[in-house]
Structure 1
Amino acid sequence: MRIVYDKRQLWKFLFLALALAAVAAFLLISNNLVKQLARQERERMNIWAKATEKLASSSDDADFEFILEIIQQNNTIPVMVADSQGNITEFRNFDLPDHADHDKISYFELSDENRQYLQKRLAKMCNGKSIAAAAASSDHFIEVKGFENTRQYIIYEDSILLRRLSQFPYIQLVIMIAVALVIYGIFVYTKRAEQNRVWVGLCKETAHQLGTPISSLMAWSQYLEATGTDRETVSEIDKDVRRLSMIAERFSKIGSRPDMELEYINEATARGL
């Protein structure tokens, strides 16, 4: 019995270890995917920054259409251009409260509400620091040369896809834990139900086994009464037979559907006392 118990414990530990290993592997793979996507977005923003810088320092032989095409291809990453004083000059892909098309309207043509919104986003990305200080501590700031070699910064946020992908592993982890708990609960319930069936079987077998000595005692009681044995002795034996019969009956009813009967409370209470 001890060996069976040890094997069950071993299987539980193995199942737990495999589950933890699967979760760790899933989180590791998801984290790598997020890092790869973040690196790709960084590379795209570097290309976008070079195109912006090239456009600012354009010469007569510059391919404006090609540069503008590179800039306009960014339709997913929220990005803005600001000078060293925090003055925003360009923006793209922000979900503005007062809808405005970034391809048709400049920052200076935005409503006050939209400009305030973008300034708040910039302040949040700078985290209370100056743009230069924030650029030194964050890879979401890219310094470029603007018109007349002025210093400008391209500030971008993670795309919606990247943000959702970074949250997805934890959401799926919660779902996996919930499913595991449900499966474990079903397993425990099934095991407990099986144990209950075993106990019911043992109780019914006990009631069956009690039937033989009870029948024997009943026969002895009748025999002693017939042979003129002391009535008090026979009465005590009959009491024991009735008690044993009640116990056997209770054991036999374990696991059976109870019969509902109408009873008066006073009478039922009096019988129980």
Structure 2
Amino acid sequence: MIQLFNWRTGLAIVAIAIVSGTIFYSQFLARKIAKEERLRVEQWVEAGKLLMIDQTGVSDKLAGIIISENKTIPIIVTDERGEILDHVNLDSASVRNDSGYVARKMKEFKAENPSVEWNNPSDSTERNIYYYGHTSLLNQVKYYPLVQLLIISLFIIITITALSSRYQSVQNQVWAGMAKETAHQLGTPLSSLHGWVEMLKDNPDNEMMVQEMSKDVERLRLVSDRFGKIGSTPQLESHDILSQVNSMVEYIRKRAPGKVKFSVDSHGSNVLIARISPPLFD
């Protein structure tokens, strides 16, 4: 039992260490990815601003590359009144089939990340607000520890169950071995008792006593046989259950106090055949 407890303690410590380390490192990566994503959104906004204010066209190629490179971060653009102006990297099918999809995503983005604002240098009253959400990579990094925790928990449960089953199996084998040894040790005195009973039969005056002693010796032999069968598959045979029960009741009736009454209700049946193991049934 102590060894099993140590196994459980060791598994728990290892699991806690793995999960704690994974959660810490995953959160570190998540914060790092979130910072990089915000930087990319800010660059994306600045690139769009550059396309609007640069009349020479010198920066068009660079700004176009920055804007086109964003294929993962979902962004929704609104004006200062909250009217949706544009969006990128959203599910096109949902946008097309669900008129409220973009509004719901914008509300979700507001809760996930602080917005990025852009003020038009040519018109101070014009202001665009950019809401962006998490990429699939960031979501995977954030939820990975939960998946790992579930897997480790299942592993621990399966391992502990296997160890418990093994321990129980070993314990059962020990009990079965002790029972078989007990049955073996009972064999010698039972043989001796059986011999003494046979000697008592030579005296006719001992007939009634010998009859009951024979039943007791047979009962002890039955108990010994039961001990010997522990751990083995019972061998079922067709027997009359009523006969078995009546025999047991008759044996106990003569040895029970006189105030105890026994009765067997067979519901009108004289014979009831069933497959049983007689040594275990009695």
Q: Are the structure 2 counterparts of residues 190 and 9 from structure 1 closer, same or farther at C-alpha, using a change threshold of 3 Å?
A: closer
168, 173, 180: which one pairs with 1:204? 180
Confirm or deny: 8 A CA contact 1:96 1:114 kept in the other structure: no
Distance in 2 between residues matched to 1:156 and 1:176, nearest whole Å: 34
Distance in 1 between residues matched to 2:98 and 2:122, nearest whole Å: 28
Counterpart check, 1:80 vs 2:76: yes
Q: Are the structure 2 counterparts of residues 143 and 82 from structure 1 closer, same or farther at C-alpha, using a change threshold of 3 Å?
A: same
- TM-score, normalised to structure 2, is 0.77
TM-superposed deviation, 1:220: 1.7
Structure 2: state its 5+ residue gaps.
250-282
Confirm or deny: 8 A CA contact 1:140 1:157 kept in the other structure: no
212, 226, 233: which one pairs with 2:202? 226
Q: What is the 5 A alignment of 1:137-152?
A: 139-146=113-120, 148-149=122-123, 150-152=126-128
Letter in 2 for 1:141: S
RMSD: 2.5
TM-superposed deviation, 1:164: 2.5
Distance in 1 between residues matched to 2:241 and 2:7, nearest whole Å: 52
Q: Are the structure 2 counterparts of residues 54 and 6 from structure 1 closer, same or farther at C-alpha, using a change threshold of 3 Å?
A: same
Q: Which residue of 2 aligns with 1:180?
A: 156
Q: What is the 5 A alignment of 1:74-223?
A: 74-97=70-93, 116-126=100-110, 139-146=113-120, 148-149=122-123, 150-223=126-199
Confirm or deny: 8 A CA contact 2:45 2:118 kept in the other structure: yes
Confirm or deny: 8 A CA contact 1:217 1:237 kept in the other structure: no
Q: Which residue of 1 aligns with 2:9?
A: 13
Q: Are the structure 2 counterparts of residues 269 and 245 from structure 1 closer, same or farther at C-alpha, using a change threshold of 3 Å?
A: closer
Q: Deviations over 1:47-74 (max 9, x none)?
A: 1122122223223254111101101100
Task: Calculate percent identity across the aligned residue pairs.
Answer: 29
Letter in 1 for 2:50: K
TM-superposed deviation, 1:176: 1.6
TM-superposed deviation, 1:271: 4.6
Q: Deviations over 1:94-127 (max 9, x none)?
A: 002267xxxxxxxxxxx6x566432332244346
> SS in structure 2 opposite 1:153?
strand
- TM-score, normalised to structure 1, is 0.80
TM-superposed deviation, 1:206: 0.6
Letter in 1 for 2:138: L
16, 28, 52: which one pairs with 2:24? 28
Q: Which residue of 2 aligns with 1:105?
A: none
> SS in structure 2 opposite 1:243?
helix
Q: Which residue of 1 aligns with 2:276?
A: none
